[in-house]
Amino acid sequence: MVFGGMPNGADEDTPVFVISVAAQLSGLHAQTLRSYDRLGLVSPGRAPGGGRRYSMRDIALLREVQKMSQEHGVNLAGIKRIIELENQVDALRSRVAELTEELAAAYAAAHQAAAAVHASYRKDLVPLNRETALVVWKPRKR
């Protein structure tokens, strides 16, 4: 059953819409969607029979392509480059998040190791303050 435009259990990346529905949802002609697919601007999933299946993310991207083209005057080659760069930025953000987590784990492990070393110090050693004199006695050999 469909509620709010998406089938139950589907997320924004699930390819569920046939080209005619995607065209309606995006406000574009089906032939425009085919053209965008051929150009690599929006690459929908494929059904077992080979038909295009668009996700909600694809629909949003189609709308964004249309906006960049119509409202901002960006040509399709420029739009493709913008999409590629946005995808790179997303990938880099993900990698930075991964590295940040790894770094936090390494800091935690180093802190734990330092705490273990400090806990292993001998308790019978007494630190001297600066006012205490230290005398070393060496008996003479006979």
pLDDT given for residue 7 in this prediction: 60
pLDDT given for residue 2 in this prediction: 47
pLDDT given for residue 9 in this prediction: 65
- Element spanning 32, H or E: helix 30-39
Is 141 part of a structural domain of the chain?
Answer: no
Is 54 part of a structural domain of the chain?
Answer: yes
Q: How far is CA 132 from CA 24, 123, 126, 129, in A?
A: 88, 20, 12, 6
Structural domain for 11, as ranges: 2-86
Is 118 part of a structural domain of the chain?
Answer: no
CA 22 to chain centre: 26
Is 114 part of a structural domain of the chain?
Answer: no
Place of tokens 């946005």: 86
Q: What is the pLDDT along the chain (142 residues), one digit of tens a residue?
A: 344 455 666 789 999 999 999 999 999 999 999 999 999 999 999 999 989 999 999 999 999 999 999 999 999 999 999 999 999 999 999 999 999 999 999 999 999 999 998 888 777 666 667 776 667 778 888 7
CATH for 47: 1.10.1660.10
Q: What angle do CA 29, 58, 26 make, to 5 degrees?
A: 35
pLDDT given for residue 140 in this prediction: 84
What does the alpha-carbon distance between residue 72 and residue 91 come to, in Å, rounded to a whole number?
26
Residues 6+ positions from 57 with CB-CB distance below 8 Å: 12, 13
Is 80 part of a structural domain of the chain?
Answer: yes
